[in-house]
A = this chain, B = another copy of it.
């Protein structure tokens, strides 16, 4: 199908349906040391209780609270229990010196902090000046979490504090959401790889690095980055490779109305759909499925390619990888603007205090201009004029 017209919403739904099978990418089991910023694929239950045993919250003396009911009370000190020692037993009427984290001895039910005591080392005694109560400065087993309880729900984006508790219960690795594998193919005989000589009529290939970085920044694992001349045979071979190593393929270029539209010309006979989406930049869009792998074909202008990614691919990639959605919102314009009727405009803008300012220059080749933007304004097709102070939809970059 070619030449159809679609709204942004229609095309987004079409793309979402195409990428729907990626939601079932199998989870990966990763070591804790590589789990930072990954998303739990399954709930994790505590295999042990925390604390695993009753232990001291303070450096001090483990006692039976009853033995210091009348103060001052002087008790013989039997020994020292260090953190890491096995549990011991308190002889009634005596004290055991105990370190933070050491197991409370059987027969003790409270810890008197060292600050509240007086030690006579020669006599081997400690004098306690204040009464205490059963349980004071004692951390009960399971008081943080009980064995079997839910530790972290599925969908938790793992930060250091989550790594901490996963290690604390003794886990070495966790099931996380799989990363979708992405292949990127930028097409165009005018493209030269950065570092090579720029001949007349040539430009450097920026879409390949930019789409790869965009995919990586949104939870994907980039498995292939290739550049293709406007040569149908070369492109067909690259597609065959890409679908073998990726779960989704992004291409740039070759989808418009020129004489050498290698992407459209190759994929349309294989069932691809090429349409005009009522948006700017990014109007010419296409999709295909080759060997079961979805392919999104973006236009070749660098700004169009990146805006296409932001609008159609980013929300889906993040959902598949289990990353939180980018929150769009509304802000007041600090400068008025005009918009073309009939097309949803995605205008480059900069956040400015609580407001947002559109940036000058709309050309879809203005990559340097795009780099100064930190948001896109999302202007509905029926809006033609907005004034300073009007609220606009803002999509953070």
The residue among A86, A192, A201, A202 with the most chain B CB atoms within 10 A of its own CB is A201
Interface range, A side: 35 or more
| Chain A interface main SS type | loop
Copies in the assembly, this chain: 2
A159 interfacial by beta-carbon distance below 8 Å: yes
Interface membership of chain A positions 114-148, coded 1 if the CB is closer than 8 angstroms to chain B and 0 otherwise: 11000000000000000000000001000111000
Chain B residues within 8 Å of A309, by CB: 160
- The answer to whether A207 has its CB under 8 Å from any CB of chain B is yes
Whether B259 lies near A82 (C-beta < 8 A) is yes
Q: Which residues of A contact B (CB under 8 A)?
A: 32-33, 35-37, 46, 48, 50-53, 57, 59, 80, 82-87, 97, 99-103, 114-115, 139, 143-145, 151-152, 159-172, 188-192, 194-195, 198-214, 216-217, 225, 230, 256-260, 300-302, 306, 309, 361, 363, 365-371, 373, 397
Cα A309 to Cα B188 in complex, Å, equals: 50
Q: Find out whether the CB atom of A171 lies under 8 angstroms from the CB atom of B194.
A: yes
Contact of A139 among B36, B160, B300, B365 (CB under 8 A): B365
State whether B217 touches A36 (Cβ < 8 A). yes
By beta carbon, the residue of chain B nearest A83 is B190
B210 touches A161 (CB 8 A): yes
Give CA–CA (A237, B46) in the complex, Å: 35
* Known pairs A33-B212, A257-B59, A301-B100; A50 contacts B201 (CB<8 A): no
Q: Do A204 and B169 touch across chains, with their CB atoms under 8 A apart?
A: yes
